[in-house]
Structure 1
């Protein structure tokens, strides 16, 4: 597997997009169709490359959703800001022995256009492929560059919409909190007026009854307003930025079951049955847990087990999310554990020879810290590893 010199910076920038690969599958269909039409090729894909996996956001003609990063052609395309064109994959020593090339009907032509968030930060590719040897004219390559820019602008727009929705969500929560904060004093005011009336004190002071009535009426009006705010049936304006335990489980199975099956690994996700429908922010969660799962699969042998356990506890005005990712793989020595906890993970090879460079776990550490969370790690060498993440969110 190859990686750019700025790989960790690239992964951080990619994580800021906070992409949900289960919810973007049709967002770029118009652009892949346009790329095929312009180039006269058979296939086109929009791919995002994270620390372990190439995720296909849209696929026209090839029928893939994900692939190990080390097996992809696009990993080479993100090494440069320039397009990577290979007229015949059979004569490129990097790909001659790959299954998708060796077949009689295998791939021959490839061109990948880096998806650049900014100069040197390439998060993936727009690529077109064909089963015949080809070469594109400069004019057609130029159009592909424009299409790739459009993909990036669409991704940036999605990020801005998410940011706006997050701001709306904060305002929504602030409104409900403010209503909660003023309800108590208002109830006290109303209670005071009721007590004065009940004891008949208003009849002993001239004009007091009228004022007590006004206080009670105003207090009840404000109290009704706060109750309305607190009991709104309207959904928060950011349901797409939230998860429940059951939805989180569904997404993780959709994203990583294929990877596990390809290595003969049993992958399960267990959720706490008590609060499985309670919603919480999904900010960076898919990136954090996804990297831990991919890493666990990488270091677990055929026939092994990778398990994710999700627990949500409600404590006073706080949601405490506990995420445990465990495996019965090869485990880690003490030195490696400390390097991960210090954010200095190094490269190692997986149980099937997969290559890695420690960037995924370093990213997990960075993201958990950015969310003011906690990460702990326990591992028995040759017996397995368990990561535990604790994240707190206000209700």
Structure 2
């Protein structure tokens, strides 16, 4: 039975979080000042800024407690995002829901918790700003109001990141247009220069001085434009990654950094493989971490201890577009035919993981939604008791 608290708008909530397209490993410095300020305002030793997806609570910045992530079902903030108001536990050690959690029963032996939802203008709780302490305490109304202001500023900064990412996307479209224009003008210019050279050679024979002078001007002008087109194209041939791009090597590093802790927690071997021939070719990072991350978390959830989760990634170079192919395979419980069909039609139900992990029933539905938004395809291959393979293919512009 699933006793975990779930927001009434959970599917819309995780879609809203995915739309921010955040890299949880790359946000700490942008929110560190707000976490420190929250702790100072509350008078607590610890403050965390947490974002919660289908499986995991990601601490994007912290003050006073070095933590990066934990399973969603172990967190206190899962209760904060399930409600419409702030959530307070004056003594975690006296609460049946939390007294056996590792952070209460063992070091740092936390006692006090106060969480404020990070709510978007659309009413979606992306996560929570929380303050914690090793001593029991109560916050005054004045301090709570100040913490709400800090929480609003966190959401404002997240919105700023989203706007910047959208602008980068539009800039990328402009760059694609620029490349197409450069390609389009190279052909006609090359023809003009060739024709001009031919006429110039004939002009020498016929001694047409005026024609020669005119043709020379055409040559000089045309060659100048051709060099400009080449310069535009050459600037786009660089393998240097832009802010809105990954390559397979960078993505491999990100996935290992994010999900190796989850795998180690269950003593699961986690391996990420990349194709060598296309490992440094850039591709859009739009929603990639959200898609692959949910698949990896799901695989770890349904793989028993001492099992294996493998991610195979490749970028196939095609004439009109590249194809990013990612396969997440595991040695877990596997899926029946009807379970695969339920995932593909979006009606999959929540189930309990091999380590007792609570399910929320939205992770794979989100993956399917995001893949469809990106005009990709998802295939699932599985035999009950013999693991599962999730294959994602996403088209990428050249």
TM range (shorter): over 0.9
**Unpaired segments of 5 or more residues in structure 1?**
none
Moved more, 200-209 or 24-33: 200-209
**Unpaired segments of 5 or more residues in structure 2?**
none
The answer to whether the aligner puts 1:357 opposite 2:339 as a matched pair is no
Contact 2:203 2:211 (8 Å CA) reproduced: no
Q: Distance in 2 between matches of 1:235 and 1:38?
A: 47
Moved more, 280-289 or 232-241: 232-241
| Change over 3 Å in CA distance of 1:211–1:162 after alignment to 2 | same
The answer to whether the aligner puts 1:177 opposite 2:164 as a matched pair is no
Tell me the equivalent position of 1:220: 223
CA RMSD for the aligned pairs?
1.9
| Change over 3 Å in CA distance of 1:253–1:321 after alignment to 2 | same
Q: Offset at 1:118?
A: 2.4
The answer to whether the aligner puts 1:133 opposite 2:104 as a matched pair is no
Tell me the equivalent position of 2:335: 332
Matches within 5 A, 1:23-34: 23-34=26-37
Contact 2:241 2:282 (8 Å CA) reproduced: no
Matches within 5 A, 1:1-395: 1-103=4-106, 106-118=109-121, 120-199=123-202, 203=206, 207-232=210-235, 239-395=242-398
Aligned length: 395
Q: Distance in 2 between matches of 1:92 and 1:305?
A: 36
Q: Offset at 1:81?
A: 2.3
Q: Distance in 2 between matches of 1:289 and 1:358?
A: 17
Moved more, 87-96 or 63-72: 87-96
In the superposition, the TM-score normalised over structure 2's length comes to: 0.95
| Change over 3 Å in CA distance of 1:325–1:208 after alignment to 2 | same
Q: Distance in 2 between matches of 1:209 and 1:119?
A: 69
Partner-residue secondary structure (3-state), 2:272: strand
* CA deviation profile, 1:217-264 (whole Å, cap 9, x unmatched): 221121111111111279699712100110000000000000000001
* CA deviation profile, 1:14-68 (whole Å, cap 9, x unmatched): 0010000111122211111111111111100000000000000111112110000
Contact 2:239 2:280 (8 Å CA) reproduced: no
| Runs of at least 4 residues off by over 6 Å | 233-238
Q: Offset at 1:207?
A: 4.4
Contact 2:203 2:212 (8 Å CA) reproduced: no
Contact 1:87 1:134 (8 Å CA) reproduced: yes
Moved more, 254-263 or 211-220: 211-220
Q: Distance in 1 between matches of 2:125 and 2:78?
A: 10
Q: Distance in 1 between matches of 2:204 and 2:348?
A: 74
Q: Distance in 1 between matches of 2:37 and 2:218?
A: 67
Partner-residue secondary structure (3-state), 1:5: coil
Partner-residue secondary structure (3-state), 1:239: coil
Partner-residue secondary structure (3-state), 1:28: helix
Contact 1:244 1:280 (8 Å CA) reproduced: yes
Contact 1:166 1:238 (8 Å CA) reproduced: no
Q: Distance in 2 between matches of 1:282 and 1:119?
A: 25
Q: Distance in 2 between matches of 1:119 and 1:161?
A: 19
Contact 2:81 2:128 (8 Å CA) reproduced: yes
